Structure 1
């Protein structure tokens, strides 16, 4: 969903949740089978699916190949989530930084 249509108060979905809830069931893959297909350990994939770690560029390349949609969509999901979290964590700091405009 484009940012202009997304509720700015709702945290973007972790890409691991999309894999866990939508992709793996649609592909009829277990975590073990998906990890083998991706060439990663079951534990590494489990950490992503449990939302304990971020989607890395390397994992995005693997997942994008498996799904046939490329890495950019997976990295965009992670970036949206990371930025959302950073903006909230830094709200007090950002409030003190002026926005400058060219004369």
Structure 2
């Protein structure tokens, strides 16, 4: 089993993009057309980045693209599923 534990893509969104651009959860949620609660859940690692959200992120921020967000989410989900099944 891999030793590394990838960050939830929402954490990357919050730490690497929103902080860098000095954007609030509320303002970003408005730009994305999603609720503040939904974006907060994603950024705090409680909700996944869905395909629809990935496309919205791509449209608002450009890079990384939707496929990149979904690959990060898949990697995160697979590792946690493997850990759960191994327990």
Return the TM-score normalized by structure 2: 0.89
State the alpha-carbon separation in 1 of the partners of residues 19 and 82 from structure 2. 33
Post-superposition, which runs of at least 4 consecutive aligned residues in structure 1 deviate over 6 A?
Answer: none
Using the TM superposition, give the Cα deviation of residue 37 of structure 1 relative to its aligned residue in structure 2, in angstroms.
0.6
Structure 2, unpaired ranges of 5+: none
Task: Give the one of 43, 46, 63 matched to 1:52.
Answer: 46
Structure 1, unpaired ranges of 5+: 1-7, 93-103
The answer to whether 1:17 aligns with 2:18 is no
Between Structure 1 and Structure 2, the one with more helix by share is 2
Aligned length: 85
**Cα RMSD for the two superposed structures:** 1.2
Return the TM-score normalized by structure 1: 0.76
